[in-house]
């Protein structure tokens, strides 16, 4: 029995109407068979994945941004079939496309879609987000808590999709006067670190967020390690300096910033940290992030650092 063609799961709102029209045209010109399924809600997307898995589909492509891929991979994981998937691909037509940037996926939609539908899979890492002893979901790109979470909340009804990294700076300006400081204990594989007056905690599998900001410049989603970056409180001018260095890509050199590498991190804070995961706000404060090496068979060129 021949294998079922790849399923291209598209977010109807990703990148606006033009992106969706381009996607339809590109799918029609693909040399091989592929099924395009456009969905409007997460529930609809989940139902489509379950149906196509039952029909024999084993290669799945997310056409959208980090959120679309997040939904696709988490649904397959929740179904208990991720280990049996042939490959997962990404056609980046979202607004941020941060993971696609780290993965060095082609800028051309036809090239990216062909790679997603036919490229060899490489085992990509994922972050297991835990609450208590339970894994609530997987993250593939970046999770940001505190400062980053509040910025994301400030931008949730704002111009993020139009301004990209500039929107992050605008969001920072909105929240700087009311930033909360946290006393945080980070427990890594080899011990604990307690830090006071922490504004932001980033737990990263890949390097960029918010449409190209290098929030974890050394992160590699194929190195079987997670990266943690903390930002400590300082004067308004010092924090503005941190934000400026984020834009230049090497803010981990700033004296208020500390970077760690580990297999897991448990986070304890004096007040719940607001986190987002791949740009999606969480409704709970995670207790831990655990690296899951090679969990996702990602179609693409492999590690950006090789």
The pLDDT tens digits of the residues spanning 168-208 come to 544 554 555 567 889 999 999 878 899 888 888 999 999 98
Report the chain's terminal Cα–Cα distance, integer Å.
37
**For range 285-302, the mean pLDDT:** 93
What is the pLDDT confidence band of residue 31, given thresholds at 50, 70 and 90?
Answer: low
Give me 203's structure tokens.
Answer: 């737990």
Domain ranges of the chain: 7-119, 131-294
Give me 169's structure tokens.
Answer: 């700076």
Chain-centre distance of CA 109, in angstroms? Answer: 20
What is the pLDDT confidence band of residue 76, given thresholds at 50, 70 and 90?
Answer: very high
The DSSP secondary-structure symbol of 160 reads: H
| pLDDT score of 146 more than 70 | yes
- Of the options 3.40.50.11540, 2.40.128.90, 3.40.50.10330, 2.60.120.330, the CATH number for the domain spanning 7-119: 3.40.50.10330
Reported residue count of the chain is 306
Residue 302's pLDDT is 66
Of 181, 186, 199, 196, nearest to 243 (Cα)?
199
Of 142, 30, 110, 100, nearest to 298 (Cα)?
100
Residue 61's pLDDT is 96
User: pLDDT per residue over 42-68, tens digit each?
Assistant: 999 999 999 999 999 999 999 988 999
| pLDDT score of 154 more than 60 | no
Residue 17's pLDDT is 62
User: Hey, what's the torsion of the CAs at 140, 259, 195, 285, to 10 degrees?
Assistant: -10
Q: How far apart are CA 306 and CA 286, in angstroms?
A: 32
Residue 175's pLDDT is 53
| 112 contacts 246 by C-beta, under 8 angstroms | no
**For range 147-167, the mean pLDDT:** 47
Residue 172's pLDDT is 52
What is the CATH number assigned to the segment(s) 131-294?
A: 2.60.200.40
| 8 contacts 24 by C-beta, under 8 angstroms | no
| pLDDT score of 153 more than 70 | no
């Amino acid at each position: 029995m021949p294998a079922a063609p790849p399923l291209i799961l598209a977010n109807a709102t990703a990148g606006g109407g033009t992106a969706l029209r381009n996607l339809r045209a590109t799918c029609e010109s693909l040399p091989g068979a592929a099924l395009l399924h456009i969905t409007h809600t997460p529930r609809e997307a989940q139902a489509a994945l379950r149906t196509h898995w039952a029909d024999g589909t084993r290669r799945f492509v997310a056409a959208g941004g980090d959120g679309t891929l997040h939904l696709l991979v988490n649904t397959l994981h929740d179904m208990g079939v991720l280990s049996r998937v042939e490959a997962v691909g990404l056609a980046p037509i979202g607004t941020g496309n941060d993971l696609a940037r780290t993965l060095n996926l082609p800028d051309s939609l036809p090239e990216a879609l062909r790679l997603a539908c036919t490229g060899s899979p490489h085992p990509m890492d994922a972050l297991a987000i835990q609450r208590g002893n339970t894994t609530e979901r997987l993250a593939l790109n970046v999770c940001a808590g505190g400062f980053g979470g509040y910025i994301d909340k400030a931008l949730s009804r704002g111009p993020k999709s139009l301004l990209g990294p500039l929107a992050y700076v605008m969001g920072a300006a909105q929240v700087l006067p009311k930033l909360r400081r946290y006393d945080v204990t980070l427990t890594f594989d080899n011990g604990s670190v307690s830090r006071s007056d922490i504004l932001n905690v980033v737990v990263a599998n890949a390097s960029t967020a918010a449409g190209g900001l290098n929030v974890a410049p050394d992160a590699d989603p194929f190195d079987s390690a997670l990266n943690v970056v903390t930002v400590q409180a300082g004067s308004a001018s010092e924090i503005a300096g941190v934000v400026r260095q984020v834009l230049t890509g090497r803010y981990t050199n700033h004296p208020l910033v500390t970077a760690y590498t580990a297999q897991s991190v448990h986070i304890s804070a004096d007040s719940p940290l607001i986190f987002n995961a791949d740009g999606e706000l969480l409704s709970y404060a995670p207790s831990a992030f655990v690296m899951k090496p090679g969990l996702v068979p990602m179609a693409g060129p492999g590690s950006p650092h090789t």
